[in-house]
Structure 1
Amino acid sequence: MEQSEVIVVLRDAVNTVLTVAGPMLIVAMVVGLVISIFQATTQINDQTLSFVPKVVAVLLILLLTAGFILTKMSEFTLRMFGYVETMIK
């Protein structure tokens, strides 16, 4: 396996991770920001107030994007098996 092939595999892996995890991370960040602004405005300093909405939002996005995630991960797995097949030859 040459260096260029390793770079292609790693780039593909990083792109897949960012594509799959991106929606959940963005939603968690936005919900956390909104809750933090709410807490700063009302001067409520409760740790669970920011934790519970983020968990609920991430679970909701996970349920909504489950099909997309499964498709992306399946495509990535098939590409990796293809790389293994070419390395063996």
Structure 2
Amino acid sequence: MTPETVLTVMQQTLEVITILIALILLPALFIGLLVSMFQAATSINEQTLTFIPKLLITILVLMMAGPWMLNLVISYTLRLFEDIPFLIG
């Protein structure tokens, strides 16, 4: 197994992880920004106000995109397992 092969596998792994994390975090970030703008406009300084909308949007994203995310992880894992003979040979 050459160093280039290891770097390629690690790069592909990081790409999959980045896609999965971004899919969950970006909507929560956007909702947090909207709630913060609402708080700034109304002068409500409650720190816990952003928690429930972020939690709800994260659960909603996981419910909607969960099957696709699971399919992405499974297909990557299967591809990695299928490539093992080529990677070590």
State the TM-score, normalized to the length of structure 1.
Answer: 0.90
Aligned to 1:14: 14
Structure 1: gaps (5+ residues): none
Q: Distance in 1 between matches of 2:74 and 2:45?
A: 43
CA contact (8 A) 2:5 2:87 kept: no
1:16-63: CA deviation from partner (whole Å, max 9, x where unpaired): 012222221110110010000011111111122111100110110010
In structure 2, what residue type is equivalent to 1:19?
I
C-alpha RMSD of matched pairs (Å): 1.3
TM-aligned CA distance change 1:2 to 1:88, over 3 Å: closer
Alignment of 1:2-81 (within 5 A): 2-81=2-81
Q: Distance in 1 between matches of 2:88 and 2:14?
A: 24
